Structure 1
């Protein structure tokens, strides 16, 4: 309202002032912004490329000629097109190191022995001495880059995971630091 009074005091055209007041009044109306939901009918079969025109007469004749070839001649078409169009030769994918056969019943024991050694570990704070709570909070705060409140909450809800996905050496260092501060941590 103050804007309208100000504009009127400047003696700006009355049509402009009416437009502003209409906009303000319309803003308060709730039915202006209601929309009806449109239900979309999905086609029975989704085709991302849409309807396609039928092939040209030339393409149809070429397909007929290809069908008339023998199996050996059809097998040579791919390599001949690659040479003419100068496409790179397809390389075979190496399956070295992949076990493509399913585990047999007798191989279950061998499969357990072949299990790869874990490379990523989680460090879990299991418990801490009540007297050393402040030291443990300080150490957790230094290790995790958390704020004071977050580190305190984490320590108080022990057992809790401090760090995830660390190497075995890093986990051992973290466990030693927690032990020196007066807590007990374990590697998972």
Structure 2
């Protein structure tokens, strides 16, 4: 994402503005003083305040697509609606990984058979995979499918974690 302005120090911009003022009769002295006062106030802000200011400035200019996700505004700027809208933006996790943590040694054959039912692995590959515990058995599974597989594995004596 390109920055709004080139990273030129404020002092250099002020000196350029002063040089421009000498050649322009339309720029009154009070305008320059106002700009210098604003620049001094901006320079005195903390890093967090500068971040909040830049976000607010982009919003006021209508450049909403340049406001970084998670940059946020303080509650004084967003108001009470801004605080309640933040949790609504968080999305529920839809894809899960099924991880085999451990299994009962006496139930090893049952676990291998169960792993074969929901993977396309042969007997040898499933056995090697189960023996590598802890290992991820399947990635990017829907919540319902992941819970069903985890329940079946737990029935045969395995400890499964959904990540």
Higher RCO (CA-CA < 8 Å; seq separation 6+) = 2
Q: Which has the higher helix share?
A: 2
Report the structure number with the largest CA radius of gyration.
1
